[in-house]
Amino acid sequence: MSMFKGEKVLVTGGAGFLGSHLARRLVSLGATVTIVDNLSTGRLQNIEDIRRKILFLKGDLRDQHVAIKACSGRRYIFHLAADMGGMGYIAKNPVILNNNLRIDLNMLSAAYADVDLNGFLYASSACVYPEYRQDVPWANRLRETDALPAQPDTLYGWEKLTAEFLFKSEVEVRLPRLHNVYGPYSSFDERGKAPMHLIMKAIKHPNPPFEIWGDGKQTRSFLYIDDCIDGLIKLMESNFQEPINIGSDKAIAINNLAKIIIRISGKNIFPKHDYSKPQGVRGRCADITLARKVVGWEPKISLEEGLMRTYNWAKSLKVS
């Protein structure tokens, strides 16, 4: 029997990509789920199939009163809400530092005051890792201890690292560092990750042209959403309270990611490179030794399978 059965569980940002998948899983496990979302990026369509099974609160967690109301009486809190996006978004929107710190401080205060709370999870990010450990395409896999000395390459990374310390100082917290999660319900706009942008370009080819940002030699690892949700559930069920990578340990160059997507599309596409666009660090890949050891988790869905599922979902939407 699931530990969440019959329990009151809060998912912040629950109408977004990650949150909607997590809420759906928790409902299937018998939890009484509350979602709080301001719908700035989340969509009610993402949770339409479970709308009657959950309590939805529309509210902005930058308002402390919203955070207090959302957290009150919840036994478990999955805090996923954040102002975030792909490299194109976080590189040009410094306001995310202000927005996210306000959200996190309010959630910290509300969670600290909630006497019913039994478990709190804060979704951190691979963006916390220092730029100097990611300066070549085939850099070493990132271990959790590599985050310090700190030098994230974006303000988003600085905020996430700061928030890890904030939550650890006040509450018992689970701290997954998520690495490039993708899949159905993810965004295709500037907040989307590289797989979503390339899938959209392949579906719409030849207009717009199939462009790769930078030289395409930069590497990343990508985690399919179902595997990510498995990791979050297992981590909350555990007693582990230190940062832990939830990602894939298989790096791939963006050029090769594009080749897989082009093959899935079945189209005759010749990519072009746009060197004026931001491309982030040169190489990032997760070391998941700790997740295997202490949580018993590792990804099960291959990149090719995950991309195929995501492509077919996106194609069915007739994205524009």
- Cite the active site residues: 156
> What is the C-alpha to C-alpha distance for residues 232 and 102, in angstroms, rounded to an integer?
24
Q: Which two tokens stand for residue 21?
A: 């998948």
> What is the C-alpha to C-alpha distance for residues 167 and 251, in angstroms, rounded to an integer?
30
10 Å CB burial of residue 222 (0-12, 13-18, 19+) is: buried
Question: How much is the CA Rg of the chain, to the nearest whole Å?
Answer: 19
Tell me, what amino acid is at 35? Answer: I
Judged by DSSP in three states, 155 sits in: helix
Q: Which two tokens stand for residue 25?
A: 């899983």
Are 176 and 291 in contact, with CB atoms under 8 Å apart? no
**Count of H-run helices and E-run strands, the chain:** 10, 14
| CA dihedral sign, ordered 189, 195, 198, 201 | negative
